[in-house]
Structure 1
């Protein structure tokens, strides 16, 4: 029997559902009352109480590790650490990227694509992240997957990649405004380091959305990356970068073995 990962998430509801949520079909059970403050456990009707299920099957040992709750540790990686520890580990053990190539080559998820720039050097595909149910614009979460296959992560970026990054930044803003009515001033565009998969992609979320991975220990604003590369084209390769690792992550063990933690 194959291993599997099943992720269950409550979906959001919009203002048009409030009459139903607060209607006679909803039950309320008082949990706490203190002066003017009241807390209730509610059971709305099923049509406004959906649960989104995301299935990964068959799940590898890496998938099981990724979705298991663990203690976290912050690692600071130098340029030499990347060459000696991180990069060899990535080359040995990264996830398959076939699902990414399926999107880029038009073999999967094409009905979800918001925008497609086919340019082989500076193009990208923009589509919703699985974490967004596409109901509320304030919970917007999109991913721009770059077409170039030789850029694994933030670490590989140089000044030569500025046309790509600027195209993603400005074109994404225009498409999000056109499709979802969200202005650039309400968007958070960033790259993860370490990313969850090693093919360059950019996360685009609404500022009101509380999404995992948007904290300072992992997210790098695309505007900051662009500005830094304009000043120093090698800064992403040479500067120390900090990121969190799970307690049973093999990369954490390698940093420990090297005396770096």
Structure 2
């Protein structure tokens, strides 16, 4: 599970790097320069404006664009889930190897690495396969974040009970709760649920999202809420049945 923490820290670094590529307060438009603005942020802004005109609502446009992007990324998420399931399936064998080669001796550790790689090859498991979808998704999701924050047309519009260009005090709580539920469902039945560090992240991430949402425009909190609700539905419809099937199969064996 230490690898998962490294991935999370690396993703935070990627977020910080991409978020810092341009000033978040600089409006995005057709004249914006740079690869990040021209090919990532501006197209997202165009989509939001298009659907806002179609539905006559910028709030609904953010909802629709978020769902569309999540659907497009669904194959990557499924691949990531399958990779996670494959890793989970071989955990008992992996644990036996670690117990067998528990010595810190260099030769023993080298043997452990060889046996581990042989185990991965035997089951067709690539430990890095679950990371690639995350790195592919991050620029796209951050581009939506930039588009929402930098599309001036959103200013002055409202959706449901809140103004899109001002912080709201109810939506951040919903965003935090949705983040917690999504992570809780993802961890259910996985080895991560037994890891104290991952359990800590289960509570830290929702709190961070909620706190950030209190200080950002409600349009961004809306994006977080919709995205996490979609991920909750994805987990219930895809991951949990997948893990239940694996568990049932394991019991039969």
* TM-score, normalising length: structure 2: 0.28
Which structure shows the bigger proportion of residues in strand conformation? Answer: 1
Which structure shows the bigger proportion of residues in helix conformation? Answer: 2
